[in-house]
């Protein structure tokens, strides 16, 4: 993994666009940060495909914030630490829970319409590992889409430039500082976007796994890009597998929101028996890692490919969860009368590009926010509905930091480039993509062993070596990034010889605070 750039280029020969800040990604983190950065200077937002394509759009459950009368930032803080299994950064969590309510109010002020009760109060719900009802939702189970709509409209009103179909190939660095990005358009043409600062908000890496709730764009690009540039990567062994994805064919897997269990749905095995009470005192509202492993255990014990979620007793369930109701009906399942077949699927990566509480990486001029970043908030297991809040809080903090520390414009007379050695993949790219996903699911999945991780690392190392060369296409870049991030995840998982949160080792099944109450950080030599 010693290659520095994926693209062959000479900066002097490329079209160049200059601005003050480049924002890569149009999820909640990127869009909200772009709005907050607007007063600082010229902001350009680049998105891999279309403006609406991000994980934010798929968020069903809602956004967590301590705005209820019985709630407090302190309670939200304690719940986050408990879910994070001892690895949360207390200072980062404090920032999240204290600044979160104001950010949510700003989101409301720009037009986001959260659901309300008949009395005009916000209709707060509860999800797994939350001690209070603190989840705001919109249109029942379309919270992410509503937030995307409001942010997209505001970005348009503010005149912020958004360039679609711009695939970020690499971060450009000069003399140890980030100076912009290389982007590939939908005609495979490179452009250099030169900026005083770059914010990576490129989302997660759910496509590492064959069973995932993430859209096809979630190929871990930001983590791979930052790693090649020399940024520290932290805690990527912690992968959150959502317990209740709709079982069946197709990808991405349709998510049955945790809020359904928050409203009272029960989990039943093949025999119609409730089982979560055997695994955790909070039963169906236990942390996600606990529920996911319990479901896998039941699937193995009953030799059945799924378990079942029973939402029939929830009053007005079709109205409360209209998107889920409609999606299930398309598959012949009526959630008002039928059990819902569910099984775990890869959902979220807790680790990512290591940042401080103002989004700074160890590379001057490079910032990261959202799922691609690792502030230490989520520890070993993300608390449900904290992800959208994280994008708001740290997007705003990055904008505040850049208002203070954005460097003066630099002379644009740099001349440098990169020429990689040719490489021939050992299989067609589409087959390599599928192989990586199956390999990760089988050997670096919900339950892991040292032998399986070692075998995965051996094969992934071969794949990376075969890809590290002149594959000057979008598909080539994506598969290379996917393989690089898969290798980082497998290596970190092999190093952590304990079980904690989203990382479970069958050969080291216990949590080991004496030796492993610490982070695993990886950095390119």
In a domain, 366, yes or no: yes
Q: CA 4 → CA 7, 8, 170, 468, distances in Å?
A: 9, 11, 9, 10
Tokens 């104001």 found at = 102
Name the DSSP class of 251.
Answer: S
In a domain, 11, yes or no: no
Q: Are residues 217 and 248 in the same domain?
A: no
Q: Are residues 354 and 342 in the same domain?
A: no
The pTM of the full predicted model, rounded to 2 decimals, is: 0.94
Dihedral of the alpha carbons of 279, 489, 436, 294, in degrees to the nearest 10: 0
What pLDDT does residue 1 have? 47
Last residue of a domain, one of 377, 405, 433: 405
In a domain, 7, yes or no: no
In a domain, 414, yes or no: no
Q: Among residues of the chain, what percentage have pLDDT more than 70?
A: 97
Q: What tokens does 358 get? A: 């103002």
Tens of pLDDT, residue by residue over 121-151, are 999 998 888 999 999 999 888 898 899 999 9
Tens of pLDDT, residue by residue over 169-219, are 999 999 999 999 999 998 989 999 999 999 999 999 999 999 999 988 899
In a domain, 493, yes or no: yes
Tens of pLDDT, residue by residue over 459-477, are 999 999 888 765 788 999 9
Query: d(Cα 256, Cα 250) in Å, to the nearest integer?
Result: 15
In a domain, 9, yes or no: no
Q: Which of 59, 252, 44, 37 is nearest to 164 (CA)?
A: 44
Domain extent at residue 466: 421-522
Calculate mean pLDDT across residues 210-235: 95
Q: Interhelix angle for 386-405 vs 143-157, to 10°?
A: 20
* H-run or E-run covering 30: helix 28-37
Name the 3-class secondary structure at 119: coil
Query: d(Cα 305, Cα 402) in Å, to the nearest integer?
Result: 50
Q: Please give the span between the terminal C-alpha atoms of the chain, in angstroms, as a whole number.
A: 9
Cis before 252 (ω within 30) = yes
Q: Are residues 150 and 35 in the same domain?
A: yes
Query: d(Cα 486, Cα 494) in Å, to the nearest integer?
Result: 12
The 3 state secondary structure assigned to 394-451 is: HHHHHHHHHHHHCCCCCCCCCCCEECCCCCCCCCCHHHHHHHHHHHHHHHCCCCECHH
Q: Are residues 401 and 432 in the same domain?
A: no
What pLDDT does residue 55 have? 59
Q: Are residues 77 and 102 in the same domain?
A: yes
Q: CATH number for the domain including 261? A: 3.90.700.10
Q: Are residues 463 and 392 in the same domain?
A: no
Round the average pLDDT of the chain to a whole number and report it: 93
Q: Among residues of the chain, what percentage have pLDDT more than 90?
A: 83
Q: How many CB atoms lie within 10 A of CB 69?
A: 7
Q: Are residues 387 and 454 in the same domain?
A: no
For the cut 60, the answer to whether the pLDDT of residue 481 exceeds it is yes
For the cut 50, the answer to whether the pLDDT of residue 60 exceeds it is yes
Tens of pLDDT, residue by residue over 18-28, are 999 999 999 99
Q: Are residues 252 and 149 in the same domain?
A: no
In a domain, 4, yes or no: no
User: pLDDT grade, residue 15 (50/70/90)?
Assistant: very high
CB 347 within 8 A of CB 252: no
Q: CATH number for the domain including 517? A: 1.20.58.100
Q: How many domains does the chain have?
A: 3
Q: Are residues 63 and 165 in the same domain?
A: yes
What pLDDT does residue 53 have? 63
Query: d(Cα 90, Cα 124) in Å, to the nearest integer?
Result: 25
Instruction: Please state the φ and ψ torsions of residue 197, each to the nearest 5 degrees.
Output: -155, 150
Which residues make Cβ contacts (< 8 Å) with residue 327, sequence separation at least 6?
Answer: 246, 254
Q: Are residues 172 and 184 in the same domain?
A: yes
What pLDDT does residue 250 have? 73
Task: List the beta bridge partners of residue 63.
Answer: 136
User: pLDDT grade, residue 93 (50/70/90)?
Assistant: very high
Which residues make Cβ contacts (< 8 Å) with residue 349, sequence separation at least 6?
Answer: 204, 205, 206, 220, 223, 236, 238, 239, 240, 371, 489
Whole-number CA gyration radius for the chain: 22
Last residue of a domain, one of 320, 346, 372: 346
Tens of pLDDT, residue by residue over 302-344, are 999 999 999 999 999 999 999 999 999 999 999 999 999 999 9
Give the residue numbers marked as catalytic: 288
- Residue ranges with strand state E in 29-150: 43-46, 63-64, 135-136
Last residue of a domain, one of 314, 346, 378: 346
In a domain, 13, yes or no: no
Q: Are residues 160 and 110 in the same domain?
A: yes
Beta strand 167-174 with 340-349 is unpaired
Q: Which of 7, 45, 419, 6 is nearest to 195 (CA)?
A: 45
* Long-range CB contacts (within 8 A, 24+) of 119-124: 122/67, 124/67, 124/68
Q: CATH number for the domain including 32? A: 3.50.50.60
| Alpha helices (runs of H) in 272-357, residue ranges in sequence order | 288-302, 317-320, 322-330
Q: Are residues 430 and 499 in the same domain?
A: yes
């Amino acid at each position: 993994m010693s290659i520095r750039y994926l693209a062959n280029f000479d900066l002097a020969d490329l079209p160049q666009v200059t601005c003050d800040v480049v924002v890569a990604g149009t999820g909640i983190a990127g869009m909200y940060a772009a709005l907050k950065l607007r007063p600082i200077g010229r902001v350009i937002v680049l998105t891999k495909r279309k403006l609406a394509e991000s994980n934010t759009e798929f968020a069903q459950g809602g956004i967590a914030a301590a705005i209820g009368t019985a709630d407090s930032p302190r309670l939200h803080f304690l719940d986050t630490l408990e879910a994070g299994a001892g690895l949360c950064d207390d200072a980062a969590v404090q920032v999240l829970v204290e600044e979160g309510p104001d950010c949510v109010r700003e989101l409301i002020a720009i037009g986001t319409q959260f659901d309300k009760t008949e009395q005009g109060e916000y209709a707060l719900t509860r999800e797994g590992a939350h001690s209070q009802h603190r989840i705001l939702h919109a249109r029942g189970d379309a919270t992410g889409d509503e937030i995307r709509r409001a942010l997209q409209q505001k970005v348009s009103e503010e005149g912020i430039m958004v360039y679609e179909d711009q695939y970020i190939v690499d971060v450009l660095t000069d003399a140890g500082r980030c100076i912009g990005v290389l982007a590939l358009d939908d005609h495979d043409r490179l452009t250099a976007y030169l900026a005083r600062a770059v914010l990576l908000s490129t989302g997660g890496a759910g496509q590492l796994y064959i069973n995932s709730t993430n859209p096809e764009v979630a190929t871990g690009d930001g983590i791979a890009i930052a790693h090649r540039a020399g940024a520290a990567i932290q805690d990527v062994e912690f992968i959150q597998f959502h317990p209740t994805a709709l079982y069946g064919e197709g990808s991405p897997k349709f998510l049955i929101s945790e809020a359904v269990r928050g409203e009272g749905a029960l989990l039943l095995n093949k025999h119609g028996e409730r089982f979560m009470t055997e695994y955790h005192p909070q039963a169906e509202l236990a942390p996600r890692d606990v529920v996911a492993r319990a479901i896998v255990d039941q699937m193995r014990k009953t030799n059945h490919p799924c378990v079942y979620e029973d939402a029939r007793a929830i009053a007005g369930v079709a109205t409360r969860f209209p998107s889920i109701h409609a999606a299930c009906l398309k598959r012949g399942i009526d959630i008002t009368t039928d059990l819902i077949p569910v099984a775990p699927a890869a959902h979220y990566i807790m680790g990512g590009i290591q940042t401080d509480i103002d989004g700074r990486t160890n590379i001057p001029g490079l910032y990261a926010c959202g799922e691609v970043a690792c502030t230490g908030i989520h520890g070993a297991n993300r608390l449900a509905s904290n992800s959208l809040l994280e994008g708001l809080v740290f997007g705003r903090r990055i904008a505040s930091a850049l208002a203070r520390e954005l460097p003066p414009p630099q002379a644009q007379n740099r001349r440098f480039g990169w020429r990689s050695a040719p490489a021939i993949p050992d299989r067609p790219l589409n087959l390599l993509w599928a192989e990586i996903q199956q390999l990760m699911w089988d050997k670096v999945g919900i339950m892991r062993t040292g032998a399986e991780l070692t075998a995965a690392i051996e094969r992934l190392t071969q794949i990376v070596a075969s890809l590290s060369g002149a594959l000057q296409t979008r598909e080539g870049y994506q598969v290379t990034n996917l393989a690089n991030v898969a290798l980082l995840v497998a290596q970190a998982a092999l190093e952590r010889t304990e079980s904690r949160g989203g990382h479970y080792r069958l050969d080291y099944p216990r949590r080991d605070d004496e030796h492993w109450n610490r982070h695993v950080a990886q950095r390119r030599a």
